[in-house]
Amino acid sequence: MSDKRLSLKEMCAKFDVTPRTLRYYEYIELLEPEREGRSRFYGPRERARMTLILRGRKWGFSLEEIRQWLLIYESEGTEAQMRSLIELADRQLEDLARQHRQLSEAMTELREMRDKVAGDLPDT
């Protein structure tokens, strides 16, 4: 990864997020960009963290879970962070499987209702 620092605008373009999102992530201590006056600059560390944040969000983790997970790396290192990820992933996989079952049931019920209503309509 390049050592080049990215401006706020470049960071937004690279990760397809809004400036508000980046400022919020900074506010809740997920990111710590370098500041020069009112300008923010994002180096390799912040870009790596942003990649992890977006992955975590995609997988359904809360921002607080992501923040805690990132803090583990800072305080305990890579191995502890990886062990924590396994625990988080196992818990999230169970939750996603439950949601999948609920969605499948809802889809089946909706199809049945649609088919019943369609069958009750007179042919035109």
From the centroid of its chain, how far is CA 85? Answer: 14
Residues 88 and 123 reside in one and the same domain: yes
* Phi (first) and psi of residue 59, to 5 degrees: -85, 0
Secondary structure (3-state) at 40: strand
Any domain includes 86: yes
Q: What is the pLDDT of residue 66?
A: 95
Structural domain that includes position 11:
1-58
For the segment 87-104, the average pLDDT, to the nearest whole number, is 96
- Same domain assignment for residues 50 and 89: no
Q: Is the pLDDT of residue 73 over 90?
A: no
- Fill in the amino acid letter for 124: T
Q: Quick one: pLDDT at residue 123?
A: 80
Quote the number of domains for the chain.
Answer: 2
- Cα–Cα distances (Å) from 26 to 37, 46, 49, in that order, read 16, 10, 11
When pLDDT is averaged across residues 15-38 and rounded to a whole number, the result is: 96
> Residue 1 pLDDT > 60, yes or no?
no
Summarize the confidence of residues 64-72 as an average pLDDT: 93
Run of H or E residues at 88: helix 78-120
Q: Which residues pair with 7 in a beta bridge?
A: 41
The DSSP H or E segment spanning 63 is: helix 63-76
Beta strands in the chain (DSSP E): 6-7, 34-36, 39-42
pLDDT of residue 3: 75
What is the token pair recorded at 106?
Answer: 């809802």
Rg of the chain taking only CA atoms, in angstroms: 22
Question: Within a domain: residue 20?
Answer: yes
In a domain, residue 64? The reply is no
Average pLDDT, the chain: 94
Shared domain for 47 and 86, answered yes or no, is no
Is 66 a domain residue? no
Question: Is 63 within the bounds of a domain?
Answer: no
